[in-house]
Amino acid sequence: MPALSDLQTSASIPFFPALPRNSSFTDVSDPDKIKRIRHFAGGEVMFRQGEQPQGVFIVRRGTVKLYMTSSKGRVVILRIARPGEMLGLAASLSGEPCIAAAEALEDTEVSYVEREEFIAYLKHNPEAALSVAQQACSNYKNACRQVSLLGSCRSASERVAQFLLSWTAPMPGLTHEEISQAAGTTRETVTRTLADFRRKGWASLASSKLTIQNPEALEKLVA
């Protein structure tokens, strides 16, 4: 019986092989019967902040930004999800509205299980339920770490440097505005800071391709 622990590590490990959308859910011990493959174009919203949870998504291909919007309209990007990461987990487990929205940054393929079927699967598979609980704890720790890092950075340039250092894989389509939303600063500050880093020979960003020439200088800035 497949365990959900197999689902978290790599997009090369399938999350419930594909089924037609009209397939019937007959056996919660068989994950092949409850999974769907869904595709999202770049810029397409997967789920919205404040809406009731639909289910869980695991990124198979592409990248997704998770973000929150304040009552005043300020957007904060919480993280960029890459292949192998699970989305919508907390809301699906709690049944409470989604605290964040998810938007595909590029053409993205995900594995998807509706909430009711996901919960039923976990009830019948203790090993999978434990794995999901561990994933939820990991997500919480990562969120706390992100808040701590942003809070410990005294200047906007430090926050931009911290974000660049965390940019360990290609992230297509990120604009200066989106970087500012992830770093907790303004677009103008990001543009000015990136120009300063490029002039100093520390890092450069062109056509969404990041090159860090002097990681030691960036690490010293945020230390």
| 184 and 141 both lie in a single domain | no
CATH number at residue 178: 1.10.10.10
Look at residues 99, 132, 150 and tell me which one is the last residue of a structural domain: 150
- Structural domain range at position 135: 4-150
| 85 and 188 both lie in a single domain | no
Q: How many CA atoms are closer than 13 Å to the CA of 223, on its beta-carbon side?
A: 7
Count of structural domains within the chain: 2
Place of tokens 């990041």: 210
Nearest partner of 124 among 41, 215, 12, 34, judged by Cα: 34
According to DSSP, the residues that pair with 109 across neighbouring strands are 39, 61
CATH number at residue 34: 2.60.120.10
What pLDDT digit, counting tens, does each position of 19-70 carry?
333 333 334 445 556 678 999 999 999 999 999 999 999 899 999 999 999 8
Look at residues 100, 135, 150 and tell me which one is the last residue of a structural domain: 150
Q: What is the mean pLDDT of residues 148-159?
A: 73
Give the single-character DSSP code of 22: T
> Quick one: what percent of the chain has pLDDT higher than 90?
31
| 56 and 130 both lie in a single domain | yes
Q: How confident is the model at residue 3 (pLDDT cuts 50, 70, 90)?
A: very low
